Amino acid sequence: MRNIAAILVLAFCVGLSGAADAVEPDEVLSDPALESRARELSAELRCMVCQNQSIDDSDAPLARDLRILVRERLTAGDSNADVVDFLVARYGQYVLLKPRFNRNTALLWIVPPATLVIAAIAAIVFYRRRRIVGEAKPLDEGEKRRLATIVGADQ
């Protein structure tokens, strides 16, 4: 059992360290401030090949090209917003891991919270109705006579 736990911990650690290996040494900028900005931007941009990974985490050749492009734009003096705007103009909103809120992405941002609210309301209504239906009121005299007749007919 101890060996299995050790193997799982080792596999977890190796999995975590793999993400940091995507940026190759020849890509790293000499200016630590620019490199920090590049890493920050790379974490927000989607790899177009891997789709659910950032370009900072991906080993795909296109991700490498995008990391280099981000660093080139930063060294040219572009702000973070300028770099993101350039990439969105070139590749579309899909390049962003967290798309901006606009008329094209409104459903993407509105539907999940709306679904949670509707589900919560439905659950409250369901449980309230269930509680109301579950409470039995006593039989009136007419219902008691009818029940006695039905039970008497069976015997």
Query: What burial class does residue 70 get, using C-beta atoms within 10 Å of its C-beta: 0-12 exposed, 13-18 middle, 19+ buried?
Result: buried
Distance of CA 22 to the CA centre of its chain: 22
Dist. CA 96–CA 113, nearest whole Å: 20
Higher per-residue pLDDT: 134 or 44: 44
Per the confidence metrics, is the pTM higher than 0.75? no
* Residue 55 token pair: 């370009």
Give the integer Cα–Cα distance in Å for 49 and 67.
14
pLDDT at position 111: 92
Specify the higher pLDDT residue, 154 or 53: 53
Please give the helix or strand (H or E) that residue 8 lies within, else none: helix 2-20
Percent above pLDDT 70 for the chain: 79
Cβ-Cβ contacts under 8 Å for 139 (sequence gap 6 or more): 147
Task: Please give the pLDDT value at position 26.
Answer: 64
109/111 Cα distance (integer angstroms): 6
